[in-house]
């Protein structure tokens, strides 16, 4: 039984590795089950046995590659400087994309497929966990969900652009967009809480917050109204609301 389990794992691993190699060599990321069968030296039904269908196989390959990327990333310990860790995480994300273009395209380059791939969903969870550290220190300029959307959309867009133009991690676009996103999303460490609002501002913020539900603000978008609520909570001293 142990031998059968070991043999099964080796077969599955062989199929994953063969598929990953075929994807890496394919200019379009389009491969056939027959190519996988030949490269892995298995029969087509074996692929269906382990992965259900071609889409299941592709998603398993992408997830396997992403898990190995996360494993490598976690081997690099945090510096204790959130900004330095953000820069490093940004660069590692883009480097993963430009060195694995076919896999990255399967994760993020299919906008007409509305549901996120398991790997993309896992990547968002990792980002959420990291950005909570900025939120906990009061350094997010935006509500955390909006902040994550800003970071993710720009990082993904830049990576796909670099893949399309056959550029590398050394392209100036990487650092320019990274620093621009940080300026929008993250406050300087020394700024937060160093100059508390005056009592008059605290009182005015609290009163305006109480009035908001009673009226309408047609000149602001829903996302802007959410930001306004967050800012008023901060000014009123109720950051836990």
Q: In residues, how long is the chain?
A: 241
Considering only residues 120 and 5, tell me which one the structure prediction assigns the higher pLDDT: 120
Residues 205-213: what's their mean pLDDT? 85
Alpha carbons 57 and 238: distance in angstroms, whole number: 49
Alpha carbons 48 and 192: distance in angstroms, whole number: 55
Confidence of residue 3 (pLDDT cuts 50, 70, 90): very low
User: What is the SS3 assignment for 186?
Assistant: strand
Q: What is the DSSP string of 53-71?
A: SHHHHHHHHHHHHHHHHHH
Structural domain boundaries in the chain = 78-194, 199-235
Question: Out of 8-17, 39-48, 179-188, 209-218, which region has the weakest mean confidence (pLDDT)?
Answer: 209-218
Give the CA distances from residue 99 to residues 29, 51, 80, 95, 168, in Å, rounded to whole numbers and listed in that order: 14, 25, 28, 6, 8
Query: Using CB atoms within 10 A of its CB, is residue 7 exposed (0-12), middle (13-18) or buried (19+)?
Result: exposed
Tokens matching residue 176: 């320019």
Q: What is the pLDDT of residues 128-186, one digit of tens each?
A: 999 999 999 889 999 999 999 999 999 999 999 999 999 999 999 999 999 999 999 99
User: What is the SS3 assignment for 1?
Assistant: coil
């Amino acid at each position: 039984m142990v031998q059968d389990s070991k043999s099964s794992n080796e077969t599955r691993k062989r199929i994953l590795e063969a598929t990953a190699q075929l994807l890496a060599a394919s200019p379009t990321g389009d491969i056939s089950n027959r190519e996988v069968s030949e490269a892995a030296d298995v029969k087509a039904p074996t692929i269906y046995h382990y992965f259900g269908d071609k889409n299941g196989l592709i998603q398993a390959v992408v997830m396997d590659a992403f898990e190995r990327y996360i494993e490598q990333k976690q081997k690099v310990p945090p510096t204790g400087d959130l900004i330095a860790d953000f820069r490093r995480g940004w660069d590692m994300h883009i480097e993963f994309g430009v060195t694995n273009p076919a896999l990255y395209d399967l994760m993020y380059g299919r906008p007409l497929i509305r549901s996120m791939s398991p790997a993309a969903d896992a990547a968002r969870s990792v980002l959420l966990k990291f950005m909570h550290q900025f939120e906990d220190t009061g350094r997010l300029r935006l509500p955390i969900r909006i902040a994550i959307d800003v970071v993710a959309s720009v990082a993904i867009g830049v990576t796909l652009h670099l893949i399309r133009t056959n550029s590398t991690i050394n392209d100036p676009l990487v650092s320019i967009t990274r620093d621009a996103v940080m300026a929008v999303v993250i406050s300087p460490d020394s700024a937060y809480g160093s100059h508390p609002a005056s009592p008059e501002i605290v009182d005015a913020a609290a009163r305006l917050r109480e009035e908001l539900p009673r009226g309408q603000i047609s000149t602001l978008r829903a996302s802007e109204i959410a930001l306004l609520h967050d800012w008023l909570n901060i000014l009123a001293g109720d950051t836990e609301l």
